[in-house]
Amino acid sequence: MKVELTLRKRWSGKFGAALMFEGDKKPLGMEQGSFNRLVLAGAGFDGKYQECTVGVDADKRRVIVAGLGKRGDFELERVRMAGAGVIKKALELRAGELGVFLPGGNEIKGRLVDFVRAVVEGMLLSCYRFTKYRQPKPDEAKPPETVYLVFSTEEESRLVLPIVDETQRRVDAVYFVRNLVNEPAANKAPMKMAELAKGLALPGRIDVRVMDRSTLQEMGMNGILAVGQGSHNPPCLVELVYTPKVKSKGTVVFVGKGVCFDSGGLSLKNAQQMENMKDDMAGAATVLGVFKYLQSVDLPYKVIGLTPLVENMIGGGAQKIGDVIRHYNGKTVEVANTDAEGRLILADALAYGAKFKPVLMINIATLTGACVVALGNECSGVMGRDKESVARLIDLGRVEGEYFWELPLFERYRAHMKSEVADMKNIGKPMNAGTIIGGLFLSEFVPEGVNWIHIDIAGTAFTTESRGYYPAGATGVPLRTMIALLHSRWG
Ligand code: BES
Ligand code: ZN
Ligand code: ZN
């Protein structure tokens, strides 16, 4: 879907759309006269949040109107959701083009730029389809090819132009992540992902290095090696480095879990648990998405991306229960469960990432089923050492419509990982604070003093049913919050 800007007097399409606050006399950006007709056609529609109607305006055009709810309850996420509602109706109407009326003058009091960003985001994000491997379904409607943002004045459209471009680039990065996560595991083995990551390199700005199996052996990245040893497809670690043009204000490190397929290993998952385990590299995909976005933006930070990439498989060479791994930082771990593999590969990558002395190190991982139980599909788990940084991330997420809930790194549970043969084991007690244990395990590999945040996206990275602006499949969460974070003043 293309987004173009135009003026009211120049726009002459057949299908229009507008958003409306509950209780307002007319939809935003529309003439009072048009609205009277809409009321008639709209069958009682009064702008309630998540309601949508179709009416006919004074020029006899069909106009989709999406509700925003009460002005007092306004938040940008509602605009995004209304944008998604507009697209849903446009699909029903089979509109090939759509003109979206933007609020003018004083209608939203100086928030025009945010408003446009959110409505464009909601529309574009909900237009995503993963059609690479299938024919169109018989009755499947195509999303509109072009959406015109219709402004009443030249000045407003000029003001908004850069933000439309910025939004497009953020959405492109989300599409990139979704495509990667939706890709079948057969076509995204670790080295294949690494090749793709190399494609993100930009001379002088982004450098990409791939550490292959033999390099990992030399470096002592034995967690990545151990998890990867059961697969015919060798593991690797990708390092991406973004160098700012201006003097750097510090280094931010992103580490993403890249389990290209998680069978569980010898602690084998059952069929149902395994069904969507191609998504177990969503953390790594998000980190690559950050760099896709960084290709087109100047930021005053050095940004490092680390994606340990493996397949967690069974086979003659697979790691066994009770094996002991010596990780990159020298700590030893007894593998009590091969299905708790994410933490084993992240352990090496985090210990390595800490060497860059980051002002902030964030890891993103589909780490625990327990997080899905605790927080469900619409909220990621977050843990960290610095309360203020965690709170900031949660606040940024709320604006983006990506939700996070903090869980404690509760020290008393650390003892659950005690081992007789190694410094620790890779699981705690069954059915007992699984998500927190995951965080505590990772913290063992991040030296004290490093501002480190762990995000568990096991529930949020993938949705089996479409909802809001997420079509079924990969969501791209939490990429937009990571981008927002890079734009917020850090350190
Ligand atoms: N990749 C899974 C976690 C997961 C579960 C992601 C459901 C998305 C949806 C992870 O590697 C795993 O299997 N974790 C185990 C840990 C346990 C053995 C301590 C789990 O959650 O069962
Ligand atoms: Zn697992
Ligand atoms: Zn996993």
pLDDT, position 43: 64
* Sheet strands (E) in 47-164: 52-56, 62-69, 97-101, 146-151
d(CA 392, CA 241): 24
Which CATH number does the domain 2-158 belong to among 3.40.220.10, 3.40.50.720, 3.30.43.10, 3.40.50.1100? 3.40.220.10
Asked if 479 and 173 count as a contact pair (C-beta separation under 8 A), the reply is yes
Question: Does the beta carbon of 371 lie inside 6 Å of ligand 1?
Answer: no
Which part of the chain has CATH 3.40.630.10? 183-489
Residue with tokens 């950006």: 29
Strand 206-211 to 236-242 pairing: antiparallel
Catalytic residues: 269, 343
Q: What single string gives the DSSP state of each residue in 460-480?
A: TSEESS-BTTB-SEE--TTHH
Tell me how far CA of residue 319 lies from CA of 68, 271, 407, 427, 439, in angstroms.
53, 21, 31, 16, 23
What residue's CA is closest to ligand 1, atom 3?
368
Q: What single string gives the DSSP state of each residue in 431-464?
A: TSSHHHHHHHHHHTTS-TTS-EEEEE-TTTSEES
Question: Does the beta carbon of 85 lie inside 6 Å of ligand 1?
Answer: no
CATH architecture of 183-489: 3-Layer(aba) Sandwich (3.40)
- Atom of ligand 1 at shortest range from CA of 437: 19
Query: Distance from the CA of 122 to the center of ligand 3, in angstroms?
Result: 30
pLDDT, position 491: 46
Angle at 7 between CA 115 and CA 121, to 5 degrees: 30
pTM, entire model:
0.98
d(CA 114, CA 80): 11
What residue's CA is closest to ligand 1, atom 18?
340
Query: How many C-beta atoms surround the C-beta of residue 152 within 10 A?
Result: 17
Question: Does the beta carbon of 339 lie inside 6 Å of ligand 1?
Answer: yes
Query: How many C-beta atoms surround the C-beta of residue 129 within 10 A?
Result: 14
Backbone φ, ψ for residue 356 (5° rounding): -80, 0
Question: Which residues, given as ranges, of the chain have pLDDT below 70?
Answer: 39-43, 490-491
Asked if 13 and 97 count as a contact pair (C-beta separation under 8 A), the reply is yes
d(CA 277, CA 287): 18
Query: Is residue 193 exposed (0-12), middle (13-18) or buried (19+ Cβ within 10 Å)?
Result: buried
Query: Distance from the CA of 387 to the center of ligand 2, in angstroms?
Result: 28
User: Which ligand gives the minimal distance to the CA of 366?
Assistant: 1
pLDDT, position 58: 83
Which part of the chain has CATH 3.40.220.10? 2-158
DSSP for residue 294: H
Q: What is the CA radius of gyration of the chain?
A: 24
- Atom of ligand 1 at shortest range from CA of 461: 8
Question: Does the beta carbon of 381 lie inside 6 Å of ligand 1?
Answer: no
Conformation bin of residue 356: beta by default, left when phi > 0, alpha when psi is -120 to 50: alpha
To the nearest 10 degrees (0 to 180), the angle between helices 154-182 and 112-126 is 30
- Tokens in use for 188? 């995204």
d(CA 258, CA 283): 6
Asked if 56 and 38 count as a contact pair (C-beta separation under 8 A), the reply is yes
Query: Distance from the CA of 341 to the center of ligand 3, in angstroms?
Result: 6
Question: Does the beta carbon of 280 lie inside 6 Å of ligand 1?
Answer: yes
Asked if 231 and 313 count as a contact pair (C-beta separation under 8 A), the reply is yes
d(CA 49, CA 85): 10
- Nearest by Cα to 264 from 325, 318, 312: 312
Question: Does the beta carbon of 274 lie inside 6 Å of ligand 1?
Answer: no
